[in-house]
Structures are given as structure tokens and as C-alpha cells.
């Protein structure tokens, strides 16, 4: 694949060196197009050495090759990382005063902007308007990460980590190669992932085997399709997907609180987390120890049914709500009963057991709905199931 890596003048330009390495080691041909000011952070010699291709910031080099037109025309994917507020403003205005903005005008392939700037610049109405303009034209503008910025500042505006940008960019390219538009552009989605834990004492808890991989695959897929994604993550140890806002939680009660708080802004909600059905009636404030006597029974009480509550309190017209059901025994009978009890629009049912679903990189499922046929998804990567789910969600969105 022929990739153009645009680099604008932000301190995060050094991270783009790692992104370039990931692209080239995966076998892709990468042409780096920096802005002139970005060369104050990383020089042309570095880009040329890492990419194995000539590097220039101006359209006046090698004029006979018409680079300001040819580079964009020949690209299969354009990624701008970091994308500063200034660069996005010029791109949104259709300006072409340097080689990078000219490439952006001539490219007819998927374009991904990875913003990086101070929080105040990212949140400024002008920047947000420019981002909306770029998204409206079909570009993918990933949400910046939150964290340490230049100096002591902390907040949203940090460039996502190169590995997550690499994965996101390839997903966008794969969809673009199939002629698929970013069909979740302008939509907000809310996803839960992982497994909740219910404390017995300061050391022990009741939990489950969910790794969160399916929820993270759903989040990454939605972001690559243009959505603004919030992921409520329960006890996961996975790298953050690029462009996804993460809210960490621990227990079923904390997950419930965050899901209900975020639900009002969501066009679609996917409850992929494995939420504990029960919790201990009381939590010991000290570690429970062996005494030689038979242990006291642990009394359990039911946790709230978060999926059912989201359905009953649906906060906006046309909101699509998807549940997940991990089942043993008769998959379809149990799934149909759960769908009727929960009242959601779609229910993804999968068999669990040794080597199935939990803790694996693949999944197999049946997607049920109250008003449509069963959709069987054969065993394959969890990313494939994620795309099937979003296809079905998109078909239901108003």
C-alpha cells in the first residue's frame, strides 16, 4: 500500500517516527510530507533515512514530476500525524500553500487526521468547526488522547500512541479499499467492555473471565467508521484504541453509573461488558483469614440489570441499543429468552466455554433481533464480528 505520512509542526512529530517504522515494517511504501515548520522538530534527513524516499516540504522541488498533484493522486492512504490546529484550519479552508495541503486537495483515498495540540486549542470553537468540516467531507479525524502535554499541562490533546494509530489507519484503509464510506460519521456511540469485579474484601473479588477484547474491537471499528466513541472499560489491560475516549470502572455499580450518565449523548449503545449478576451483600474492610472453623457463607444480592435499565430509560428517539449474551447450553433458546427479557434492538449471543469467547482473539456469534432474521457470524477475528454488529446498527439508525 502507498501511504503518505503528513507531519505538521507539533512537538509530537517525534512520535510519527515510530508510526513510520510500523508502516514500513509492515511492508508499506511511505512518502513523508512534512510542513516546513515541522522540520524544526524532526529533520528531513531523519524522514528520508527511515522511509527510504525523498523528503521535501515544498512543491518547488522536482517540479517536472508535479509532486503537489502526483503524490496525492497515487496514494492509497493519507495519514497526518500530528495534525495541528493550523494544519487542520488550512485543510478545512481548502488552502494549498505548501506541499502537504496540496496533497490533501488532490488525494482521493481515505484521509486520517490525528490531532495533537494543547487542550485550549483543541476545544476552541474554531478548531471544532474545522474538525466538523473535515469530517463532513469524509475524512477521519480521530479524537486526541488525554494525558501529559508539553510542559506540565495535562488534558485532551495528546497524540494517540503510534501502535494504536497504526491499527486505526489500516482499518480505515481496509474499509476505503472496499469503497465503504465512514458510515458512522457524525454519530456518537457508547460501548462497555471488560468484566466487572465485586469486592469480597480488600484482596478478593467475584469476577469473570472477560478480557474486554470484543468491546475494544467494537470501539476501534466504530472509530474507523467515523464515530465519536466513548468506551466504559471494566478492569481491562488492553492498549487504548486511537480516537476513543476511555472511562475506567471496576464494579457493576460504577459501570451502571457511567453508562447512564453517558447514554443521553449516544446514537447507539453496545453493552459488550460482562457485568456481574450478583455481588456480596457486604464487603469486609479487612482481609478474611482462615480460622480453622468452617467459613461463613457468602450472601449474594442481585446487581442492577444495566442493559434493561438503558432500554427502559432510552434517552433519545432512534437510539439503537445492542446487548451481548454469553451463554452455555441451548444458544438460540437462551438468546431468544434474553432478548425478550431485555427488550434491546439487537442481541449478540455467543457460546462460552474452554477456548471460546473469553480471553481469545476470535469469536463466533448469532445476532438476534425482535423483527428480523438471525444473523450468524462464523468463527473469526473479533474485529470481523464488530463490523457485522456496526453494519446492523447502521441499518437501524435514523
Strand partners, 158: 145
**Burial category of 354 from C-beta neighbours within 10 Å (exposed 0-12, middle 13-18, buried 19 and up):** exposed
Structure confidence at residue 62 (pLDDT): 67
HSE-up of residue 73 (Cα within 13 Å, Cβ side) = 6
Reading the block at residue 317, the C-alpha cell is 428517539
**Burial category of 203 from C-beta neighbours within 10 Å (exposed 0-12, middle 13-18, buried 19 and up):** exposed
Look up the CATH superfamily of 2-177. Flavin prenyltransferase-like (3.40.50.1950)
Instruction: Determine contact, residues 191/216, Cβ cutoff 8 Å.
Output: no
Structure confidence at residue 303 (pLDDT): 95
**Domain pair 2-177 / 188-396, same fold:** yes
Phi–psi pair at 186, nearest 5 degrees: 85, -5
Structure confidence at residue 179 (pLDDT): 76
Phi–psi pair at 124, nearest 5 degrees: -60, 140
Domain positions in the chain are: 2-177, 188-396
Structure confidence at residue 64 (pLDDT): 60
Residues 248 and 254: their CA atoms lie apart, in Å, by 9
How high is the mean pLDDT in each 10-residue block of the chain (398 residues)? Answer: 97 97 97 97 96 86 68 95 98 95 95 96 96 94 89 87 95 84 92 96 91 95 95 95 95 97 97 95 90 86 96 93 89 91 95 73 91 91 95 96
Sheet holding 346-351, edge to edge: 244-249, 228-234, 188-194, 268-271, 320-327, 346-351, 362-368, 375-381
Structure confidence at residue 356 (pLDDT): 65
Active site residues: 208
Look up the CATH superfamily of 188-396. CoaB-like (3.40.50.10300)
Amino acid at each position: 500500500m502507498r501511504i503518505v505520512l503528513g507531519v505538521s509542526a507539533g512537538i509530537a512529530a517525534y512520535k510519527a517516527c515510530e508510526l513510520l517504522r510500523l508502516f514500513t515494517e509492515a511492508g508499506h511504501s511511505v512518502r513523508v510530507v512534512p510542513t516546513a515548520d515541522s522540520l524544526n522538530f524532526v529533520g528531513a534527513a531523519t524522514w528520508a533515512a527511515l522511509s527510504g524516499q525523498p523528503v521535501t516540504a515544498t512543491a518547488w522541488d522536482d517540479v517536472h514530476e508535479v509532486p503537489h498533484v502526483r503524490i496525492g493522486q497515487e496514494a492509497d492512504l493519507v495519514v497526518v500525524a500530528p495534525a495541528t490546529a493550523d494544519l487542520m484550519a488550512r485543510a478545512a479552508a481548502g488552502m494549498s500553500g505548501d506541499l502537504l495541503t496540496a496533497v490533501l486537495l488532490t488525494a482521493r483515498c481515505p484521509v486520517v487526521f490525528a490531532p495533537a495540540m494543547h487542550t485550549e486549542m483543541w476545544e476552541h470553537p474554531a478548531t471544532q468547526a474545522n474538525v466538523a468540516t473535515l469530517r463532513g467531507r469524509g475524512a477521519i479525524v480521530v479524537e486526541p488522547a488525554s494525558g501529559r502535554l508539553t510542559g506540565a499541562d495535562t488534558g485532551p490533546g495528546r497524540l494517540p500512541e503510534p501502535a494504536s494509530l497504526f491499527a486505526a489507519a489500516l482499518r480505515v484503509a481496509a474499509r476505503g479499499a472496499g469503497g465503504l464510506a465512514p458510515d458512522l460519521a457524525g454519530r456518537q456511540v457508547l460501548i462497555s467492555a471488560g468484566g466487572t469485579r465485586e469486592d469480597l474484601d480488600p484482596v478478593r473479588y467475584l469476577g469473570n473471565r472477560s478480557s474486554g477484547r470484543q468491546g475494544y474491537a467494537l470501539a476501534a471499528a466504530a472509530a474507523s467508521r467515523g464515530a465519536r466513541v466513548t468506551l466504559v472499560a471494566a478492569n481491562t489491560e488492553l492498549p487504548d484504541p486511537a480516537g476513543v475516549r476511555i472511562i475506567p470502572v471496576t464494579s457493576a455499580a460504577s459501570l451502571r453509573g457511567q453508562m447512564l450518565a453517558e447514554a443521553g449523548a449516544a446514537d447507539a449503545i453496545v453493552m459488550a461488558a460482562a457485568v456481574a449478576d450478583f455481588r456480596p451483600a457486604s464487603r469486609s474492610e479487612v482481609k478474611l483469614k482462615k480460622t480453622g472453623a468452617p467459613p461463613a457463607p457468602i450472601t449474594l444480592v442481585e446487581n442492577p440489570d444495566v442493559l434493561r435499565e438503558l432500554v427502559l430509560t432510552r434517552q433519545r428517539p432512534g437510539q439503537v441499543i445492542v446487548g451481548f449474551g454469553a451463554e452455555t447450553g441451548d444458544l438460540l433458546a437462551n438468546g431468544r429468552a434474553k432478548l425478550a427479557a431485555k427488550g434491546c434492538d439487537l442481541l449478540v449471543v455467543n457460546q462460552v466455554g474452554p477456548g471460546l469467547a473469553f480471553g481469545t482473539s476470535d469469536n463466533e456469534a448469532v445476532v438476534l433481533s425482535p423483527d428480523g432474521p438471525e444473523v450468524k457470524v462464523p468463527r473469526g477475528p473479533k474485529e470481523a464480528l464488530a463490523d457485522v454488529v456496526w453494519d446492523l446498527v447502521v441499518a437501524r439508525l435514523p
